[in-house]
Structure 1
Amino acid sequence: MTTEWGLLAVAALVFVYALFGKRLSDSILTGPMLFLFAGWGFHSLGLIELGHGAHGLYVLAEISLVVLLFADAAAIDPRRLWRGASIPARMLVFGLPLAILFGFLAGAGLLPNWPLWELALVAAILAPTDAALSQPIITDPRIPERIGRSLSAESGLNDGFALPFVLFFGCFAVGGIHNEVQVPWWVFVGQQVGLGALIGGVIGYAGGWLLRLAQDRGLTSDRFGGIAVLALAGIAYLAAQAGHGNGFLAAFVAGLAFGEVLRGRSRFVFEFIETEGQILAVLSFFVIGAVLLPEGLPHMTWPMVALVLASLFVLRPVAIWLSLAGTGIGTKERLFYGWFGPRGLATALFALLVLDAFDLLQMRDEILAVAAITVLLSAVLHGLTAAPAAKLFDKDAGRDETKSGGTLTDT
C-alpha cells in the first residue's frame, strides 16, 4: 500500500478515536494502547511502508516528546513540589535512583553476558514513567485528588530527571568516547547536561517573561498560549542541539522556567496537554507500534522478559515503597504509587536516542528489544489494571490535599 493510503488510514483512525473518546476512556482500552497495537498491526499488514519513512515517524515521536517534556514541566509548581515531605519529590529524588540501581542489579543476574555499563544504561532507560499512560488513572474520579496529582507530577518530571543517567551510562558503555564528536565522556556529558540545562533555562525564562509582558499590555491572550508552548519547546530543543547541549533536557528545563515565570497564568498549558498534547501522545504510540515493536521484538529472549516483568512488578514498587518510608502513607497507597509507573514514550525514544548517538554499543538490538517489550507489556498491564485499581478507593476518600502539601500543579 502507498504511503498516502497508509497515512489516510492513520487519519481515519484518529477521527474514529475522537468519535468514541469518552466511551474508550471508560473502558480498559486506553488511547495509547489502541494506537500502539494499531501501529503494530498497520506495519504487519503492510498498511504502513516504512523504508525511508521510518525516519519521518521517528521525528514525529521525537517532536512529541520534546513538546510533552516542556508542557508537563511547565504545569508543575516546583515550590510546592519540594515543600516538606512531598510525595513526588521523594519518588523523584530517592525512588528514581533506587529503581535504576535495582534494575542494574536485576539485569546483572538475568543477563550475565551483557557489559555492565550497558546493563546500567538499560536500567536508566526503563526508569522513566509515562504521563500519557498514567492519564486514565490520574483522571479517574474515584482516585483521591492528591494521589492523582502526585502521580501526574512524578510522571511529568521523571523522564527529565532520568535523561542525565541515560547520557552518563551511554558514554561509559562505549568506552568513554562519543562516536560523533570524539571527546572524552566527561566533556560530552558536561556539554549535554550543563549546556542543555543552561540554554533551556534561559529560553524558557525569556519566553515566559516576554509572554507575560505581552499579556500585561493586552497584546496576546490565552488563546495563543498553545502556540507559545509549541514554539518555545522547539526553540529550546534546536538551540541546545546547535550549542552541543541535549535538546530533550533543554525542553524540560525550559518548561520549568517558563512555568515559574507564568505561575498563576498558565491555565492554557493544561488545556494544551489535554488537547494537542493528547493527540501528540497517541500518535507517538502509533509510531512506537509501527517502528519499535517490529524492530525490537524479533530479538526478544526470555531473560529479557523476566527483567521487564521484574521492573514492572518488583523493582519500581520496592524503590517507591522505600522512598516513601517515614511519610505515614498507608500500605495500599504506597503499593498504588509503586505499581502505576507505566513506561512508554520516554523509554522508547531514549532507547532509540542512545542507539543513534552511540554506535559502539555491543547489545544494540537487545537494548531495542528490552525497550519494545517494556512498552508493550506496560501499555497492556497498566491499561487493564487501571479501572480495577481505581475501585480500591472510595470516590470521596483522601480529597484532603493537605496530606500531600497542597496542589502540585499551577491552575
Structure 2
Amino acid sequence: MFAVIGAALLIGSFLPRLLRERVLSAPIVVVGVGMVIGWLMPNESQLVDVIEHAELAERMAEITVIVALFGVGLALDRPLSLRGWTTTWRLLAIGMPLSIAGVAVLGWWVLGLTPAVAVLLGAVLAPTDPVLASDVQVEGPSSGEEVDDEHDEARFALTSEAGRNDALAFPFVYLAIYLATKGDPGEWLLGWVAWDLVGKTVIGAVVGYLLGRLIGAAVYRVRVGDHRLVGFAEPAAVATLLLAYGVGELLGGWGFLAVFCAALGVRASERDDERHEHFHEFVEYTEHLLTLLVLLVIGASFISDALPRLHWTHVAVAAGVLLVVRPIAAWVALLGDRKLRRDERMVVSVFGVRGVGSLFYLCYAMGFFPKEDGWSLWPAVSLVIIASLVLHGASASQVMRALDRRRARAGT
C-alpha cells in the first residue's frame, strides 16, 4: 500500500504538466493503473471494495472534494452577483433538478430500483465534478483590473456550476434517505424543503462567505512588523478551507457550500492581489495528488468489484446519463440565456464531468441504506465516472481550443 501511494504521488508530480492538452490525460492514465492493480489483486480480496469500506472511501473523497471546491472558488475572478451569475443560477435551479429526475427515472425504469434508491442514484450522479473538470474550467485567479472569465462564459459556467452543485446534491441525498426511512412523505416533505433544501443551503453559503471575508481581510491587511500575514499563504489556505467546512457543518449548513463560498469571500476581501495565485497554486497541487489516490481506488474497485456485477442495464444507464440526461437538462436550463452563443451552450450542456463527488455521496448514503443497494448502484456509478473521464478528458482540450478560436474570430 505504501508503494502504491508513493507511485501515485510520483505520477502526480509530473503527469498533469506532461499530458496537458493531450488526448491522454493524467486521470485516464491513473484510472488505468488502478484497473491493473484491481486485475492483479486476488479475487477474494475486499481491499478495494468501496461499499464494504464505505466510511474510508467517503473520507478520502470528502477531503478531495473540499480541497477542490476551495480551489474552484479561488479561481473565479467574477464577483458573486445575481446578474453576473445568471448562467450558473439557471444550471442549478433548472438543470440540476431535471438531471436528478431524469437519472432517477432511468434507475427506476431500466434498473428496476425502488423510488428511494432511484432518487439516490439521481442525487449521486447529478452534480458535475470540481475535481476532474480542470480542462473545461477557468485557469485560475488573475490580478489587475481585467477579469479573465468575463468573456469566457462557457468556462465560467462550468467552473461555477461545479463549485455550487456539489453542495446542492446533498438535499436530494437526504430526500432519498427520508423516502427510505421516514415513510409517508406528507409527514416530512415540507420540513425537507424548509430545512434541508433552503435552510442548510443558506447557512452554508452565509457562514462560508463571512468566514472567507474575515480571514481574507486578516491575511491581506494585517501586518506583523513590515510583513503582511499573506506571506504564510499555504497554512492560511488549509486553515480556511478546514475551518469553513467544520464551522459550516457545526452550525447546521452544508459544509461543501461553505468551503466554496469561503473561497469567494477570500477573493472578495482583496480581489486584485497577485498572491491569490499562490493560494490557488498550492491548493491545485494538493488537489491533484489527492485526486490521483482516489482515482487509483476507483479504477481498482471497478475491475475487482464493479465489473463482475456489471449488466447491460448499467451500461444503458451510464450512456443515458452522459449522452441524454445531462445534455438535455442543461440545454433546457440555458434556453434564452443571452450570455452564451449556441456553440457555447452546447459545450456547457455536454461537458458535465462526473467524478469524485459521486463516490462521496454514494458512500455517505451507505450509512442509511443496506450495502446491497450500494453494490447494485456501484457498477453504474463507477462506469459513469470512468466513461466521463475518457469521453470528456480526451476531448476537452480540443473542444475548448476550438471554442476559443471561434470566440476570437467573433471578436468577443
Under a length normalisation based on structure 2, what TM-score does the superposition of the two structures give? 0.79
Alpha carbons of 1:191 and 1:337: their partners in 2 closer, same or farther (altered >3 Å)? closer
Q: 1:192 Cα shift? A: 9.3
Q: 1:307 Cα shift? A: 1.3
Amino acid at match of 1:334: R
**Equivalent-residue separation in structure 1 for 2:358 and 2:290 (angstroms):** 16
Amino acid at match of 2:313: P
Q: 1:352 Cα shift? A: 0.9
Which position in structure 2 is the counterpart of 1:351?
Answer: 362
Which position in structure 2 is the counterpart of 1:174?
Answer: 181
In the alignment, which of 225, 228, 235 is matched to residue 233 of structure 2?
A: 225
- Over the aligned positions, Cα root-mean-square deviation in angstroms equals 3.6
1:206 aligns with 2:203: no
Unaligned runs of 5+ in 2: 140-148
Q: 1:290 Cα shift? A: 3.6
Q: Report SS of the residue matched to 2:243.
A: helix
Q: Report SS of the residue matched to 2:169.
A: helix
**Alignment deviations for residues 22-78 of structure 1 (CA, whole Å, 9 cap, x no partner):** 331132121222222222322332499838995555433321112222332354467
Which position in structure 1 is the counterpart of 2:142?
Answer: none
**Equivalent-residue separation in structure 2 for 1:310 and 1:191 (angstroms):** 28
**Alignment deviations for residues 222-272 of structure 1 (CA, whole Å, 9 cap, x no partner):** 342332232232233344555665543443444444444454454444323
In the alignment, which of 158, 166, 170 is matched to residue 151 of structure 1?
A: 158
Point out the more displaced range, 390-399 or 58-67: 390-399
**Alignment deviations for residues 139-168 of structure 1 (CA, whole Å, 9 cap, x no partner):** 69xx98332222222222221222222222
Alpha carbons of 1:51 and 1:105: their partners in 2 closer, same or farther (altered >3 Å)? closer
Q: Is the 8 A contact 1:33 1:380 kept in 2?
A: yes
Q: Is the 8 A contact 1:146 1:400 kept in 2?
A: no
Alpha carbons of 1:176 and 1:263: their partners in 2 closer, same or farther (altered >3 Å)? farther
Amino acid at match of 2:384: T
**Equivalent-residue separation in structure 2 for 1:193 and 1:286 (angstroms):** 36
Amino acid at match of 2:380: V
In the alignment, which of 287, 307, 322 is matched to residue 317 of structure 2?
A: 307
**Equivalent-residue separation in structure 2 for 1:82 and 1:293 (angstroms):** 45
1:379 aligns with 2:378: no
Unaligned runs of 5+ in 1: 1-5, 178-182, 404-411
**Equivalent-residue separation in structure 1 for 2:281 and 2:266 (angstroms):** 16
Alpha carbons of 1:293 and 1:37: their partners in 2 closer, same or farther (altered >3 Å)? same
Point out the more displaced range, 155-164 or 212-221: 212-221
Point out the more displaced range, 242-251 or 46-55: 46-55
Q: 1:122 Cα shift? A: 0.8
**Equivalent-residue separation in structure 2 for 1:59 and 1:245 (angstroms):** 19
Aligned residue pairs: how many?
388
Q: Is the 8 A contact 2:201 2:257 kept in 1?
A: yes
Q: Report SS of the residue matched to 1:125.
A: helix
In the alignment, which of 17, 23, 26 is matched to residue 21 of structure 2?
A: 26
**Equivalent-residue separation in structure 2 for 1:77 and 1:257 (angstroms):** 12
Q: 1:338 Cα shift? A: 1.1
Which position in structure 2 is the counterpart of 1:92?
Answer: 92
**Equivalent-residue separation in structure 1 for 2:268 and 2:289 (angstroms):** 26
Once the two structures are aligned, what percentage of the paired residues are identical? Answer: 26
**Alignment deviations for residues 161-217 of structure 1 (CA, whole Å, 9 cap, x no partner):** 22222222222233359xxxxx97877883797457536743652354144134322
Q: 1:313 Cα shift? A: 0.6
**Equivalent-residue separation in structure 1 for 2:204 and 2:84 (angstroms):** 30
Which position in structure 2 is the counterpart of 1:278?
Answer: 288
